[in-house]
Structure 1
């Protein structure tokens, strides 16, 4: 008996209960109300709306889903750091013998040990601290951010922003100084000209000052995952900015399709142009030529060998697969391929021929003729 709804009901009562629930879901009947007077959504399943048996609930309710074990005495307030309550003028009996505060003992005093304590000198009495006690729960005792004031972090941000601003100002002054020295050398080999005193003579182009920041416009910084947890690497753009992009070669809507996600264009955007004048003929041109075709044939050979029962895997052991494919090509050139479409002569197929042929040790024909293919 897991829930309070497990009480015995007759077949007729059960049918009426099901009809009532369907009417509530359809909006034809008012929603059920719990013990606190709150409506219960009829679409909530029973395993959520019915309380467990050990809570001894008599009807449906969502009270057991809420935080019903909350402590009313729990508070989220924190200690008032550095707060003082009372400043005494003379030493009091039972106070700290070192500083004179009555809120702690000499053993727990956090001030510097004096050569003669306040008990004997009766001077420099420390104020009493504000003593507070809170009843924190399990999470409150272990919350490292409890009592943190976000306003204090603004001072840290201001300090770092001031440092960065001073650094930028210093670098700009250094660049301006270098430009001024360069202009002075061009005017008179190190001698300052007469017009240098004027403000108009020392015009420094801000674009030249910030030109160093634009030197690496072709660099693209991105995150590169490595075995060591990831590091930032530099990846250069593959296309030269002076070259025309492939999707701008033919602006016709019905021309070759360009996929912006993979930056690929399979077909030739200019199929009628002169091959000597165009530098791009589509990605398929490179897929069926060069090393791309060899790699494709290597994969096909690995798949066929695996289907025939040979233990070979292109991704797990690429060196082994490449070596087996190289041996396969050598054997194919030496012995031929039985799967070719070339038909053998009828004499060789039947094993009968009236021609007599003699060979020497080098494999050359000494006497007789080889039957020709029909």
Structure 2
């Protein structure tokens, strides 16, 4: 029986007492022997007089020479392409430690997330520009809220693209003081 009689069950080959003979046929040097036999057949088809079982040393030497020449031709083709079109700088890779983003830095954290031992975390900067004032404003949009509308704290204007008038904000402040005096 070559196939595993337990293949439709959820049991692994290590869990059963008999797993068939196919796993023996495809383990160890059997795959290397099959590749050598295929090489000998292809060499015979190409006109080279070689037989794997009659002359195993000759077959192995021919296979080593064939693989070596194949690699040489492949590398020369690659070099010719790089010489003609360029791009050698794209073949250099950074070290694997950088690619996998693993470091040896040690840090211990408490239950609340604060660092007990080790280096502090780097501060994450926002992708948005902060504290950019435009149209002569001295505060950012959204720093003022009144009657359901956002505005600028410096001049109390609720129009987003309006030009800041600091004089207007002073007039508003004086008006508020007068109202408070009347009360």
Specify the structure having the higher radius of gyration (Cα).
Answer: 1
Higher relative contact order (CA 8 A, sep 6+): 2
Q: Confirm or deny a common fold (TM above 0.5).
A: no
TM-score (normalizing by structure 2) = 0.37
